[in-house]
Structure 1
Amino acid sequence: MIRSTCPYCGTGCGVLVGPDGAVKGDPDHPANRGRLCSKGSALGETVGPRGRLLQPEIGGQAASWDQALDLVADKFSMAIRDHGPESVALYVSGQLLTEDYYVANKLMKGFIGSANIDTNSRLCMASAVAGHRRAFGTDTVPGLYEDFELADLVLLVGSNLAWCHPVLFQRLTEARARGTKVVVIDPRRTSTCEIADLHLPIAAGADAALFNLLLAEAARRGLKPVPCEGLEAALHAAEATDPAASGLSVQEIQALYDLWFASEKTVTAWSMGINQSDSGTDKVNAILNLHLATGRIGKPGMGPFSLTGQPNAMGGREVGGLANMLACHLNIEDPAHRAAVQDFWAAPRMAEKPGLKAVDMFRAVEAGKIKALWIICTNPAVSMPEADRVARAIAGCEFVVVSDMMAETDTLRLAHVKLPATGWGEKDGTVTNSERRISRQRPFRAPMGQARADWWQLAQAARRMGFAGFDWTHPAQIFAEHAALSGVAGSLGSDFDISDHAGISIADYDALTPFLWPANARQRGGRFFSTGQFHHADGKARLIAVTPRPVAAPLILNTGRVRDHWHTASRTGLSPRLSAHMAEPYLEIHPDDARRIGLAADGLAEVTGQGGRALLRVTVSDRVPPGHPFAPIHWTGETSAAGRVSALADGRTDRISGQPALKAAAVAVRPFTPAFYAYAIAARPFRPDTDYWATATHARGMTAELAGLAEPDDWLAFGRRLFGLTGAAEVQTLSDPARARHRLAFVEAGRLVAALFADRVPVAVSRSHVAGLLGLAPPETVLAGQAGADMPDPGPTVCACFSVGVNTIVSAIAQGGCLTLEALGQAVKAGSNCGACRPELAALIARHEPRLEAAE
């Protein structure tokens, strides 16, 4: 078995990979102790050749690595010669390994001499970094995962832990069973609320107001501050906060006070709901203010805790991957820090000021100021705010290089040069999780095609540009250099120092076990700030006066993740079971808003924002508050006609962190009224061209939801074009022209190869049943659209880990007497692995458990 680390969220779960590529949780890894979520469990389904970029390309034509890298080096060198170092940029990713990140940062800041390197981590945790630096003097995460289990009270703020960090959710669920209280602060009633002792549905954007209220109440009850500056000003701002700004009742606020002040061991954990705001840094500091003023930091079971979204967002921070940082948490504005790094690298020139942050970088691309752009391991044409504008900017850039493992992404198709990168299972390096634990990602298969590591690509380009110091032959050498530089940083007072590993050998690197930083002669692991010493020059923390800024608009779109997909789903979308739970982009909207706008459940909505337009399936639900609909981020131009929700967001950013307000886009919504709806399945891939479409992977092929403004004149011809079928395919039809209802099944060699179901209203067929018939001799139930009595229909998937459908679960509840989560797990396996579906299972039990009739 190969020990590696999951490439998804910042939890950093250890995995064991067998010779056949099967994946299971590593029971010895301290982050997950053998647990895995649905995405981690399905990793083995995402490592095949399907969809991979297998060789370099120039202008869409195959090229050798020498040709491609020579061109990259020439174009970057030419831009620097003619327009200066600020004319080039790198845009990288929190999914890179630390070694990749280190090489990119070294090349850009120390040799090209510009800080125009930024990362998609800017979109998810930059405000946490900025808040840490303001309060602590450096970007330090003080807590550990074990604090969830040691705490008496855990506040989750802007974090749907059940879906976004399921393994941490399991750990917290077990802690709650032992007595830990849980408060969820979120405008939405998410799955995480199922374990909440108190759910506080605050007004959108009111997080800083609520923490100001807590701080003011703490002052009334008596503070226990750490050594700090700024307390008086922070208290003045807190005391001026109107409780009504929180959107909560007096009783709800009092309930929070009762829990907080009864529980000294308190952890406050937050994620994108705090960070992705144009005042995200202030929200972070409002949380930090409370912990600093009450002394709840640096001790077991207490402290503020930023939960990172990406597997190596922390590693990127450690090597200075952000445009406003230097390696090893050193400050780019500090001449002594710059000189130390330049001397260590023997660099010919050094960036002397912060570079362009993500939003500003792509606006500089748009303005023609960036002449050469290298995008690595990310898809900004989908994920950036104003995604349509960003795509146009990339398309207009003079020279664009994209390194990616996938052959078809919205960004890759805009590149002049495409470079095939290694994927998970082929990568060799390290990542750092949210609790500062560094773990190895180890390869268990050879690179696919001509794919090469990102660090190798960068180093080869650097050498071709005439730069020395990029002659590594193994990632262990890069890690050793990084560790040695951290020792220099430690001597300058940096918190990040892993110099224990300076000079690490390849053998020791290969055998490296997970460890917490710092790791040096002075300190190994543990919590920061237990002694009350911080990283500002005077050793004191800083409290920041925070004035809450409300979010105001008729409709504010909240965006986020779904349970089983990751980012733009280029990998999770390859897994049939991960695609089954939620197979198309959707808009979750409150019933009052739906009635006012005229939206019907399962219909379609046209959503417009300052940045663009999206078409989304309507889900009507009181889980979201009025005025604040929700839409997930995972659909792209490759998987949906108009599902790119980041296109709706404008480019507003936090003034300090530069993080965009992706969770608060002002939008307009109206019904999208098509002439027809359709559901399509096929054994072979197909690409629809209707006004609305969304595709998903299925175990037997591919599925799609369709809608169009004009009904086809000939449904048979439409079906053949859609599926790319010739006249040789036999067809079975069932039509009701008066109701515009048409059903077609296409058969080749006696096997069902495709089917199409169309109607004037959203199509009512059992999708799990009909898709499961692909490749089989077509029974009569194909056109019926539902299973016969002799063919049970599992229904839509609820448990992705074991592909258990809702009908199977309801039957076990109603007929099998499975009235507890444990009984369901034993009977049908649902909820017995990652646990992320357990809130849904609990709701199904409550809805479908047999009711005893009252005695007459």
Structure 2
Amino acid sequence: MMTVKSTCCYCGTGCGVEIDVDHGQVLAVRGDPEHPANFGRLCTKGLTLAHTLHADSRLAEPRLRPGRLGPGQAVSWDVALDTVSERLAAIIAEHGPESVAFYLSGQMLTEDYYVYNKLARGLIGTPHVDTNSRLCMSSAVTGYKLALGADAPPCSYEDFDHADCVLIAGSNMAYAHPVLFRRLEAARAANPKMKLIVVDPRRTDTAASADLHLAIQPGADVALFNGMLHALIWDDRLDRDFINAHTEGFAELRHAVREYTPKMAADICGISEEALLTAARWFGEAGAVLSLWCMGLNQSAHGSDKNLALINLHLATGQIGRPGAGPFSLTGQPNAMGGREVGGLATALSGHRDPANPQHRAEVAAIWGVDALPATPGKTAIPMFDAIAAGQIKALWIVCTNPAHSMPDANKVREALAACELVIVQDAYADTDSVAYADVLLPAAGWAEKDGTVTNSERRISRVRRAVAAPGSARADWDIGIDAARRLAARLGRGAHLFPYAGPDEVFAEHCLTTVGRDLDIGGLSYAVLEAEGPQQWPRPAGASQGAARLYTDHHFATDNGRARFHVARHHGVASPISARYPFHLLTGRLRDQWHGMSRSGRVPALFAHTQEAALSMNPGDMARRGLTDGELVRVSNSHGDWVLPVSSNDAMLSGQLFVPMHWSSAFVGSAGSNALTAAKIDRKSFQPELKHVAVRVDKIDLAWQCAAVSACGDPVRALSALRPLLAECRFASATLLDGERPAVRVRFAHEALPAADFLARLDAALGLEGEGLAQVFADPRRGIDKRAIWQDGCLRAVRLAGECCALGWLGERIVSGGELGELRAMVFAPQANPPGLTRRARMVCHCAKVDEAAIYQALAGGASPDSLRDTLGCGSGCGSCMPEVRRMAASVTKAA
């Protein structure tokens, strides 16, 4: 057995991992104790990475799909890439370079990003290169550039240990960045005087941990920050020496925020004036203030203003450029930062250059050896898909992302993909939503199967190392891009010299060259340096012995005159306001144990133990007024689309607000998920869409035909893929994986009537209910009831209930536990939700120690403290992701007592 050091492929924390490999198989993954981003900690998702390398769901060979019907024809790489280069050359010849676009991903390695940026802008000559980072980080990019002069987060994780006050805005950090939240918890324990302020409409686990939770109305962030600045000015809690010596624009800002009195701002926010003043006082009195934010600020039609208003607070108080102080955006994807470095966004060029700047274009063109780069602005994500729908863009190359699920107004995006002349999809997985629209499918190597680098939230560059071979003929993204570029260059008759690389190290070396003299100068880095010295922060210019832990320590900023800039930001509210027709605010967000569209995490049964299926969280009072009860199906809708899903009572929600997770795609539900509802309304500065909020209505829906099944026959992940065509046929559909001694797949359907005559037969085939074993059947056509069970070796392995489904819960638990039913066999088809003598499993809270909700509540009721559960039940002894929830549970027990 060997151990390979690499980097986790989930969020932007950038955790180091150690991969145990034996005979070409990944056996286990654990945190790397030497990596400075996590020092050995790893969340539930990272700990289960070994289970995501599932060959059956992987794209293992190139495919051509004429007419996009069926799985397509498997072909060689030569045939696939010759087809790509031939069709692209023909489209360019007929319609020009700008008829081609690339849509990239923050999950690509920096080397991958660099190659495709050069292929698009340097060889083809199209400016239309954007990335899914547009959907998550572009408002932070814009805020940093406008205020500080460069897209450069000025802080480091070590600042957690030096802060006296931490402000978290628009981030459920306990779920989205659990390893960082554990580090923050440790810092608070070491400094009991530290104040934690959390700004979030919901009472999340992060908010429940705060000293002050500001449950503002959606879209009110600018009003809050302006109100806080008004209070700081009034109380003279400013650093006037810093303002005078190192900033500009404060006089205009001071005049603008005069109208944002604490009373007015608090009223807009829906919080008390006292709470706002307390937040301002803590911010102004603290020796060092650290602000952390994520999608709640960025994913807004006014996200840039929200970023700027928060940065204004730091500049006004001089809280930047020293330990524990500064505005610090938390990156959502593992290499969104690396993509920003190489110009993966349509609004950027390599080395943090501006494509609108002729000198910057000339600098990159000289390094690349081309005459010129496109002078016209590239289309960002939303306009790009609008141009595809309008027929202006004829060819789209999608790499390592799933826009059919992740883009707002998803139904419109799917229509655009269906109409596009040429769609190339390059992915590791064969069953993402976007694959259905591909003319050419290119199999990419996944995590642990490729070499390169990534950059995390604190500007730290880490190596990603190959530990095992990719399945079939799958290749690294950079390798595919280079091969395709060389073939295309031959057809175009130019650019043969642009892609001389023999490996990713040579690509990285050229990337480093493009940064020399820039704010992110990494001229002193190479693969050899990273191998010898470990992960490094930028800037790290030639001759430097290490990277910079924090920026602007000399208070000289990356602007033309070295001064940071205040910007006036005004409150505008949400882009889709509620109305009589659409009276609810729908908020979207993340879960603790899932990630993005679940193309990777959704293949691990254990990661469904905390939250098994998508549900609409709703205030209990709002539910009561509408006659809704837990588990009932509702239709959430607006002018963009709808989604039928169960409703769940949640007192963390304010009245008038709803929450739904962003993760569920068409692989798991009979819908495009949350983005069937979101609107493509964008920020005018950053071009980032408002994915976090939209106005909707909620209606109870009665669907007469019900069907549900659980199967542990065969491979549950393969069964999940086989179920996908059936999900789209029903008004409500939900598929999930169940963890246990025998992992299983569970699916639920509801429809107005039986969807198709052969539906049950196809369902049984997908679930293995027609395989080996003893079949037990029951049918009552008059009542529309049809039930089937499979027994193997005396144990129940699968059950399908149609027409009457209330027994599915306890039957599913018996299937995954592997236990025999014995004398209960006769009860398999009995309509009993909870048969006497059977105890139902509680929801899993601690994944590492397998501790469920019931055990934790029992221990807490017996007098245990959250910290003592580490020694008794094991909660928090592993990754620690469960501890915010355990503390919230403890608080509820104390309150009830």
TM-score normalised by structure 1 residue count: 0.93
Query: Counterpart in 2 of 1:831?
Result: 876
Letter in 2 for 1:15: V
Letter in 2 for 1:203: Q
What's the secondary structure of 1:702's corresponding residue? strand
Superposed CA deviations along residues 303-334 of structure 1, whole A, max 9, x for unmatched, are 11111100001001000100010111011111
Query: Counterpart in 1 of 2:8?
Result: 6
Cα distance between partner residues in 2 of 1:619 and 1:217: 39
Determine if the alignment matches structure 1 residue 803 to structure 2 residue 809.
Answer: no
CA positional deviation for 1:799: 1.8
Superposed CA deviations along residues 73-93 of structure 1, whole A, max 9, x for unmatched, are 111122222111110000000
Superposed CA deviations along residues 159-184 of structure 1, whole A, max 9, x for unmatched, are 00000000011011111112221111
CA positional deviation for 1:810: 3.9
Query: Counterpart in 1 of 2:797?
Result: 753
Query: Counterpart in 2 of 1:144?
Result: 156
Superposed CA deviations along residues 209-267 of structure 1, whole A, max 9, x for unmatched, are 11101111222233214422211121222221232212111221122123222213111
Aligned residue runs from structure 1 range 532-571, under 5 A: 532-551=555-574, 552-553=577-578, 554-571=583-600
CA positional deviation for 1:813: 4.5
Query: Counterpart in 2 of 1:709?
Result: 752
Q: Given the alignment, which residue of 34, 59, 63 partners 1:28?
A: 34
Determine if the alignment matches structure 1 residue 484 to structure 2 residue 505.
Answer: no
Structure 2 residue runs without a partner (length 5+): 66-71, 490-494
Cα distance between partner residues in 1 of 2:114 and 2:401: 17
Superposed CA deviations along residues 718-765 of structure 1, whole A, max 9, x for unmatched, are 974674534975344689999988864322464433113467686673
What's the secondary structure of 2:54's corresponding residue? coil
Superposed CA deviations along residues 109-128 of structure 1, whole A, max 9, x for unmatched, are 22222220000000001000
What's the secondary structure of 2:809's corresponding residue? coil
Superposed CA deviations along residues 643-696 of structure 1, whole A, max 9, x for unmatched, are 511111111000110000001112122112222544421124151443312112
Cα distance between partner residues in 1 of 2:413 and 2:428: 21
Cα contact 2:744–2:816 (8 A) shared by 1 = no
Aligned residue runs from structure 1 range 717-796, under 5 A: 720=764, 723=767, 725-726=769-770, 730-732=774-776, 744-748=788-792, 750-757=794-801, 765-766=809-810, 769-773=813-817, 780=824, 783=828, 794-796=841-843
Cα distance between partner residues in 1 of 2:777 and 2:297: 53
Cα distance between partner residues in 2 of 1:411 and 1:202: 36
More deviation, 82-91/523-532: 523-532
CA positional deviation for 1:774: 5.4
Aligned residue runs from structure 1 range 201-216, under 5 A: 201-216=215-230
Superposed CA deviations along residues 83-105 of structure 1, whole A, max 9, x for unmatched, are 11110000000000000001111
What's the secondary structure of 1:496's corresponding residue? coil
Query: Counterpart in 2 of 1:819?
Result: 864
CA positional deviation for 1:608: 1.4
Instruction: Report the CA distance shift for 1:718/1:508 in structure 2 as closer, same or farther (over 3 A).
Output: closer
Query: Counterpart in 1 of 2:492?
Result: none
Superposed CA deviations along residues 588-632 of structure 1, whole A, max 9, x for unmatched, are 111233234443211112111332211122112121122221111
What's the secondary structure of 1:237's corresponding residue? helix
Instruction: Report the CA distance shift for 1:9/1:633 in structure 2 as closer, same or farther (over 3 A).
Output: same
Letter in 1 for 2:520: F
Cα contact 1:678–1:763 (8 A) shared by 2 = no
Query: Counterpart in 2 of 1:182?
Result: 196
Cα distance between partner residues in 2 of 1:798 and 1:32: 22
Query: Counterpart in 1 of 2:68?
Result: none
Q: Given the alignment, which residue of 517, 524, 536 partners 2:538?
A: 517
Query: Counterpart in 1 of 2:351?
Result: 328
Cα distance between partner residues in 2 of 1:808 and 1:849: 16
Query: Counterpart in 2 of 1:692?
Result: 732
What's the secondary structure of 2:789's corresponding residue? strand
Cα distance between partner residues in 2 of 1:219 and 1:231: 11
Letter in 1 for 2:748: E
What's the secondary structure of 1:359's corresponding residue? helix
Q: Given the alignment, which residue of 207, 219, 231 partners 1:193?
A: 207
Cα distance between partner residues in 1 of 2:205 and 2:57: 33
Instruction: Report the CA distance shift for 1:69/1:2 in structure 2 as closer, same or farther (over 3 A).
Output: same
Superposed CA deviations along residues 473-527 of structure 1, whole A, max 9, x for unmatched, are 211111111111111xx1xxx21110002xx4x6555556101100014763131
Q: Given the alignment, which residue of 116, 124, 134 partners 2:128?
A: 116
Query: Counterpart in 1 of 2:682?
Result: 653
Cα distance between partner residues in 1 of 2:758 and 2:507: 61
Aligned residue runs from structure 1 range 36-435, under 5 A: 36-59=42-65, 60-178=72-190, 179=192, 180-222=194-236, 223-224=238-239, 225-226=242-243, 227-241=246-260, 242-243=264-265, 244-435=267-458
Cα distance between partner residues in 2 of 1:640 and 1:715: 17
Cα distance between partner residues in 1 of 2:731 and 2:98: 41
TM-score normalised by structure 2 residue count: 0.89
What's the secondary structure of 2:277's corresponding residue? helix
Cα distance between partner residues in 2 of 1:850 and 1:296: 37
CA positional deviation for 1:845: 4.0
Cα distance between partner residues in 1 of 2:34 and 2:684: 42
More deviation, 790-799/641-650: 790-799
Determine if the alignment matches structure 1 residue 474 to structure 2 residue 503.
Answer: yes
What's the secondary structure of 2:472's corresponding residue? coil
Instruction: Report the CA distance shift for 1:798/1:677 in structure 2 as closer, same or farther (over 3 A).
Output: farther
RMSD: 2.7
- How many aligned residue pairs are there? 842
Letter in 2 for 1:563: R
Instruction: Report the CA distance shift for 1:236/1:757 in structure 2 as closer, same or farther (over 3 A).
Output: farther
Cα distance between partner residues in 2 of 1:427 and 1:274: 33
Letter in 2 for 1:97: L
More deviation, 517-526/348-357: 517-526
Query: Counterpart in 2 of 1:19?
Result: 21
Letter in 1 for 2:283: W
Instruction: Report the CA distance shift for 1:780/1:452 in structure 2 as closer, same or farther (over 3 A).
Output: same
Structure 1 residue runs without a partner (length 5+): none
CA positional deviation for 1:705: 2.6
Instruction: Report the CA distance shift for 1:431/1:728 in structure 2 as closer, same or farther (over 3 A).
Output: closer
More deviation, 72-81/223-232: 223-232
Instruction: Report the CA distance shift for 1:809/1:732 in structure 2 as closer, same or farther (over 3 A).
Output: farther
